[in-house]
A = this chain, B = another copy of it.
């Protein structure tokens, strides 16, 4: 087993080659337009911890699966994550002009091209997984199952469902625990739950192992979101005056705005305990996932 940074580097190396380098303004029938490649890569290669794909690879590795075969599935997860950020930032959605210190996709390429870059990344994620799957007919059933898990996490009962409620709550000033739990699960946790389940499917894990990975993913995702909300108020960023409780000030629906700092910390402790319990089935092999979730919680101490 490798560390988070090593898995992330494997993912980064592959992501850099997913879309070909093309001559400027090249438009050729049946090939990707250079403008599309450039706008997709602008967001896809903008950095980030590559947490979701790295966790997928680590889970495959933990289960003695084929990490090399799993790589394109992991990259597809990151491509889906990237598309969701491009569309989230659009006018009509969050209308953000900056992300990771750079202008957002639609600021650089225009709204129409940003919509298409997002559509392209989502579709290309499936193209990438399907192409890889076709190379190993003996793994067809496992591949189908893995792609289905990832599609479910990204889809209309998963991430997109969460985005719909998030948008609805923002427009209708809904602030309650039911909506918050829904958004944290569907919008944030689903892209941990289902990629981890996909890892299980790829590695030929038992159903019990797949379900445990999914439940770990749900608790991890909720901690990821809660600690993010906490950091906004108590973290380095807040102390440095960079965001200083920006979300809380704007009356955004977060675990801190609903339950306060101590309430949020208590939730994180409960979720941490649950997540750790789910790892028991994997024994000592799961140390990567124990360390990872501990480091996530440590961010807010």
Contact = CB atoms under 8 A, between A and B. Distances in A.
Interface stretch (A152-160, A258-266, A268-276): A152-160
B115 A92 contact: yes
Interface in A158-211: 158, 160-161, 163-165, 167-168, 171, 178-179, 181-182, 185-186
A148 B126 CA distance: 8
A199 to B, nearest CB: 17
A227 interface: no
Interface string A80-93: 00000001001111
A93 B115 contact: yes
Given A137-B141, A164-B113, A155 B27 contact: no
A261 B186 CA distance: 53
A30 interface: yes
A249 interface: no
A120 B155 contact: yes
Contact of A122 (B123, B164, B165): B123
Interface string A214-255: 000000000000000000000000000000000000000000
Contact of A115 (B32, B87, B137, B178): B87
Given A116-B164, A123-B160, A154-B123, A29 B130 contact: no
Contacts of A141: 134, 137, 140
Contacts of A10: none
A29 B186 contact: yes
Main secondary structure of the interface of A (DSSP, over half): helix
A122 B122 contact: yes
A126 B151 contact: yes
The 9 closest A-B pairs by CB, nearest first: A92-B111, A130-B148, A140-B140, A92-B112, A123-B155, A36-B164, A93-B112, A33-B164, A120-B156
A228 to B, nearest CB: 19
A126 to B, nearest CB: 5
Contact of A110 (B92, B112, B116, B143): B92
Contacts of A147: 126, 130
A133 interface: yes
B122 A181 contact: no
A151 B36 CA distance: 17
A27 B179 CA distance: 8
Contacts of A133: 144, 148
A219 to B, nearest CB: 14
17 contacts: A27-B168, A29-B181, A30-B158, A31-B157, A87-B115, A93-B111, A119-B119, A119-B160, A122-B122, A123-B155, A126-B126, A126-B147, A127-B156, A130-B148, A131-B148, A134-B144, A140-B140
